[in-house]
């Protein structure tokens, strides 16, 4: 039974377009199901998390990352008596707006879009579910509940917040639902841990330096004490499962203590709290920051990752400029969506939507079609 402060069908702020209630499903189950059936969700399979899709079959993609976030999120939601269906819907949708090539792609597209309002993947995720999916007869987008959309828009500048119904909280200083708060941290738990795993698999980071970190080192010592010299793959997995477990348990215990203290009687009282109620204890928060800094310095800045980042920038920037200066290079289906007479900011946004929707491999192919003389157009 969800707690009184959890999101529920009864306390939901509803959908933008009125629809009849689903049969045998709740409102947030319907949201989750619509997300899974969207085209943007299927594309996550071929979008980079850290490693480009063609670098290896075992690395995380945006799709497997999103599934891991949903798994961690659901476990936390159940332990805290929160709404599991809403948690799962937010987790599965949180990265729908990501460009190809991960953060490198987003930074490049943001630079191209600077004169036209910029590009931000969170806002793009909301744009995907609000308007870019075109499959329902009666509305654009997926017509998701307020709570799912609120969870998707996890950051937003004050300048842009006024444009969105779910952006109001960035102006009023309100908190999102507890389900949205926990998805944010489930995302962090998932990517920090799987990036360690993928980084080790790619030999870009080493066990010896990871052992110096609190989170990794304490789990490593425990595994060694229990099992002695394990083969590397088992050792890494035993360490990472302990790290995830420590983070998740700390998050559940700290948050449940904070919820008891604040004692909100409804989701509206969650929204008016001065601080988020979901969070880590101070020692675990510090250990988590240490791991993030390590990954930033040693993995995300590794020359091998930087080289891919640089290629991604070339591809995204090259495609944007080519399409912007000559929209007739766009495939007819996309040209059809762009009114060539319209002002340039409108054209730029349509091109950004097209680029952001691309998978890694589609972007590479488009680039070759346009810039490589030998490649068929
Ligand atoms: Mg994510």
pLDDT tens per residue across span 289-322: 999 999 999 998 898 888 888 999 999 999 999 9
The pTM of this model reads 0.95
Question: Could you tell me the distance, in angstroms and rounded to a whole number, from the CA of residue 31 to the centre of ligand 1?
Answer: 18
User: Pick from 29, 166, 26: which is nearest to 87 by CA?
Assistant: 29
Q: What is the pLDDT of residues 130-188, one digit of tens each?
A: 999 999 999 999 999 999 999 999 988 888 888 888 989 999 999 999 999 999 999 99
CA of 131 from ligand 1 middle (Å) equals 21
CA of 325 to the centre of ligand 1 (A): 33
Asked if residues 28 and 89 have their Cβ atoms less than 8 Å apart, the reply is yes
Mean pLDDT of 102-125: 93
Q: 189 near 247, Cβ under 8 Å?
A: yes
CA distances from 28 to 35, 41, 123, 289 (A): 11, 17, 21, 32
| Structure-block tokens of residue 115 | 């004169």
Decide: 161 and 167 in contact? Cβ < 8 Å: yes
Using DSSP's 3-state secondary structure scheme, residue 151 falls into helix
CA of 65 to the centre of ligand 1 (A): 7
Q: How far is the CA of 66 from the centre of ligand 1 (A)?
A: 6
Distance 187 CA to ligand 1 centre (A): 5
Q: How many A from CA of 72 to the centre of ligand 1?
A: 12
Compute, in angstroms, the gap from residue 49 CA to the centroid of ligand 1: 8
Output the CA 91–ligand 1 centroid distance in Å.
Answer: 8
CA–centroid distance, 88 to ligand 1, in Å, is: 13
pLDDT reading at 341 higher than 70: no
- pLDDT-derived band at 48 (thresholds 50, 70, 90) equals confident
């Amino acid at each position: 039974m969800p707690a009184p402060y959890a999101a529920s069908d009864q306390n939901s702020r509803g959908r933008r377009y009125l629809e009849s209630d689903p049969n045998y499903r709740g409102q947030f189950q319907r949201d989750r199901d619509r997300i899974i059936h969207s085209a943007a969700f299927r594309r996550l399979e071929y979008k980079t998390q850290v490693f480009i899709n063609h670098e290896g079959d075992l690395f995380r993609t945006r799709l497997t990352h999103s599934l891991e976030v949903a798994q961690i999120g659901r476990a936390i939601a159940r332990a805290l008596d929160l709404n599991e269906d809403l948690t799962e819907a937010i987790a599965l949708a949180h990265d729908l707006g990501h460009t190809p090539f991960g953060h490198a792609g987003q930074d490049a597209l943001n630079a191209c879009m600077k004169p036209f309002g910029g590009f931000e993947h969170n806002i793009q995720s909301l744009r995907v579910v609000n308007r870019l999916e075109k499959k329902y007869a009666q509305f654009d987008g997926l017509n998701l509940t307020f709570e799912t959309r609120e969870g998707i828009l996890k950051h937003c500048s004050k300048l842009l917040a006024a444009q969105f119904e779910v952006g109001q909280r960035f102006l009023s200083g309100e908190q999102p639902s507890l389900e949205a708060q926990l998805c944010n941290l489930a995302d962090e738990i998932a990517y920090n841990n799987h990036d360690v795993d993928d980084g080790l698999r790619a030999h870009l980071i080493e066990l010896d330096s990871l052992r110096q970190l609190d989170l990794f080192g304490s789990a490593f010592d425990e595994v060694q004490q229990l099992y002695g010299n394990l083969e590397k793959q088992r050792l890494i997995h035993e360490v990472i499962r302990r790290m995830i477990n420590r983070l998740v348990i700390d998050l559940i215990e700290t948050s449940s203590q904070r919820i008891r203290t604040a004692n909100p009687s409804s989701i509206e009282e969650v929204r008016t709290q001065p601080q988020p109620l979901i969070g880590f204890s101070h020692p675990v928060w510090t250990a988590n920051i240490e791991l993030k800094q390590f990954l930033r310095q040693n993995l995300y800045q590794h020359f091998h990752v930087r080289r891919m980042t640089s290629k991604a920038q070339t591809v995204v920037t090259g495609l944007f400029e080519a399409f912007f200066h000559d929209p007739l290079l766009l495939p007819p289906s996309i040209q059809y969506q762009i009114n060539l007479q319209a002002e340039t900011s409108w054209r730029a946004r349509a091109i950004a939507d097209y680029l952001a929707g691309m998978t890694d491999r589609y972007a590479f192919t488009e680039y070759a079609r346009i810039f490589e003389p030998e490649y068929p157009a």
